[in-house]
Homo-oligomer: A and B are copies of this chain.
Amino acid sequence: MKKNIITISREFGSGGRTIGKKVAKELGIMYYDRDIIREAAKESGLNERYVEEYGEFSPSADDRFAYSFVDYMEEGNSPVLRLWEARKKVIREFADREPCVIVGVGADYILKDRRDCLKVFLYADEETKQERIRELYGDVVLRDKNRIHNMDVRRSINYQYFTGQEWGKSKNYDLSLNSGSLGVDKCADIIIKAFED
């Protein structure tokens, strides 16, 4: 079936945004990542900074405690759930509009029933990820090992929290690529090959 959408989920530092932008450019289609978070912020009526913070990451320990009260969740008062609903709406709208690449933000799960969606997961060895993080964010971030580790842990918790699926499990994707061993350009080429008719 002809594909229209590419979702890219990725480990922090594996080059997801670089690869996603390259793929979108070469295919001449739209590219989204945080734009969707901004749209979701407007949609949900929540503060944009709050939304950026919680867009892809798990609620803090305090929030999780609060959300463990199911009644509270069911009443729809939870800002995290409001954000998730807004994000689903926005991602579906973006995907309906025109062919695009969407990096992160749980798009793979939200669009899982669309057969015209190619779902990609990117990962890499620690050394490659650290090198990339140094290049993009500098040594300060790189030295904060805890923060780097937390990025993926919080992404993973957030993903599981909303989707009930395990983040990064290859069964949930059409293809999983090791950007460390394959390299950024080769990953982009492979994704384009998988996307083509």
User: A2 at interface (Cβ–Cβ under 8 A)?
Assistant: no
- Give a binary string over A137-177; 1 marks a CB under 8 Å from any B CB, 0 the rest: 00000000000000000000000000000001011011111
Whether B170 contacts A174 by the Cβ 8 Å rule is: no
Contacting B at CB under 8 A, from A181-197, are: 181-182, 186, 189-190, 193-194
CB-based contact B170/A123 at 8 Å:
yes
Please, which residues of chain B bring their CB within 8 A of the CB of A186? Answer: 194
Chain A interface: which size bin? 10 to 19
Give me the 9 closest cross-chain CB pairs, A-B, nearest first. A176-B176, A170-B176, A170-B170, A193-B193, A174-B178, A174-B181, A175-B177, A190-B193, A190-B194
22 A-B residue pairs with CB within 8 Å = A121-B170, A123-B170, A123-B171, A168-B170, A170-B170, A170-B176, A170-B178, A171-B178, A173-B176, A173-B178, A174-B177, A174-B178, A174-B182, A175-B175, A175-B176, A175-B177, A175-B178, A175-B182, A176-B176, A182-B194, A190-B193, A190-B194
